[in-house]
Amino acid sequence: MSNVTQETPCQEAISIISIVAILIGVGCYVAAINNMPVISLGLFFIAKCLYNIFPDLSSLRAPQMPYVIASVAAGCVFFVVTVPFAGVFASWLSSAHVANIERQTSKLVAARKKIKKRRRDRDGFNVR
């Protein structure tokens, strides 16, 4: 048996926000590596600002480290900015789930009626 509990809508919303933040960080890094004109310059500017705020980051020596730091910062900023809206996002997800369940229920009811009608039509009493 599985003892896994169902996530609450708010936990589900925070999970989705976390996944999107990670994807934004990875997307920013890939864009910077491929030298996309605006994004790579923006990320380099963010990295310069972060190196000025946190001088200990300069001890991390790697050729692409400024882009990694800026990409992580972009993902973290997205996460921090969107987490306060997790409740609104959760209610939207919850209402979408309820609407989906109602739609499926109406399809099931219609299918059951069709099956019952087909069985009744097939079970007709014919005398010849």
59-118 residue pLDDT tens: 888 888 888 999 999 999 999 999 998 888 887 777 666 667 777 888 888 888 888 888
DSSP summary character for residue 62: -
128 belongs to a structural domain? no
Structure tokens at 31: 């864009």
Domain ranges, residue 110: 9-121
CA distances from residue 34 to 16, 21, 26, 28, 29 in whole angstroms, order as listed: 27, 20, 12, 10, 9
The packing angle between helices 9-33 and 37-53, to 10°, is 110
Residue 1 has pLDDT above 60, yes or no: no
78 belongs to a structural domain? yes
Structure tokens at 58: 């300069």
Question: pTM higher than 0.75, yes or no?
Answer: no
Please state the domain count of the chain: 1
Q: Calculate the CA 127 to chain-centre distance.
A: 63
2 belongs to a structural domain? no
CA distance 24 to 72: 9
Is residue 22 very low, low, confident or very high in pLDDT (cuts 50, 70, 90)?
very high
3 belongs to a structural domain? no
